[in-house]
Structure 1
């Protein structure tokens, strides 16, 4: 680590911090650093994924969720919930991927009511390529830059926040 990166960490890094301006309390600085670093990380992941595979992060996430489902399909409402998308937004996202031949939309296989998204063989193949790239980038840009204790802290903090935001009680 360089001397300037250590100084930035100690002061509470922020791209938008103005010299001579009081950065505020630790909680506000932590939020700002999280918000800005996350935006930078997502931008880097998105640009590389798009350049190498043609997929956006939302496309990747949708294909990931379909790949992780036991049968390779999910009801549209469940998919919207998992992606934290509105139903209309997930419908649009599925239509985009459907035009590319990566997913298809059909009546639900269990009861015929509603519809579900199904990953195609082409979708699986492109997802495998994208997953290898994404995994490598996540490791290089994030995982390799934090130690085990920091990873445990982040897991605890964001698990607690996620449960709180979902309204799920935690022990």
Structure 2
């Protein structure tokens, strides 16, 4: 027996489409601004932020993939490019020596500090400063609910994804918020 489809009504469809379109355009704009001002794109910047927020500025590759929502394959390609530029390095995980961890280098941390104002400025200009405090609170509530739901779902491997760090200031870093 086929389940009955619960189609979106007009208001739900408008909400979904406005989210989808604005997210796509916002991410493209933030990526373009970063690329114009630095050697980083938004995905690379996100990887560096996650590393900067972790102990010793290092994470296992599997954890970093889960935290950024990237496939392991795509993350490996991105990390290889960053490693060639001296922004990150990879070494054996100190926990079990079988896993590989990615570490933010001093040059990578300096680049992140230099690039963060560009990203934060874009986030403010294209999102935060357009909204009232009440709308920011509503957005936080909405996406905290969605994020908790998505993190609770099993991954394709059948495992629940690793918890990602929240939007906290990186340890020993100036505001490099994602």
Moved over 6 A (4+): none
Q: 2:20 and 2:114 mapped to 1: Cα distance? A: 29
Distance in 2 separating the partners of 1:127 and 1:40: 23
Partners of 2:42 and 2:69 in 1: CA distance: 13
Higher helix share: 1
CA distance in 2, matches of 1:116, 1:146: 38
Matched, 1:155 2:132: no
State the match for 1:86 in structure 2: 71
Are 2:26 and 1:68 equivalent residues in the alignment?
no
SS in 1 for 2:86: coil
Instruction: Give the Cα–Cα distance (whole angstroms) in 1 for the partners of residues 110 and 135 of structure 2.
Output: 34
Q: RCO higher in 1 or 2 (8 Å CA, sep ≥ 6)?
A: 2
Shift of 1:165: 1.4
SS at match of 2:55: coil
> How far does residue 111 in structure 1 lie from its aligned partner after superposition?
2.7
CA distance in 2, matches of 1:70, 1:118: 10
Equivalent residues in 2 for 1:1-171, closer than 5 Å? 25-167=10-152
The structure that has the greater radius of gyration is 1
Which whole-Å CA distance do the structure 1 matches of 2:86 and 2:114 have between them? 16
**Any gaps of 5 or more consecutive residues in structure 2?**
1-8, 154-178
Aligned-pair CA distance for 1:39: 1.1
> How big is the alpha-carbon RMSD for the aligned residues of Structure 1 and Structure 2?
1.2
TM-score (structure 1 length as normaliser): 0.81
What's the offset of the Cα at 1:135?
A: 0.8
Q: Distance in 1 between matches of 2:131 and 2:98?
A: 46
Unaligned runs of 5+ in 1: 1-23
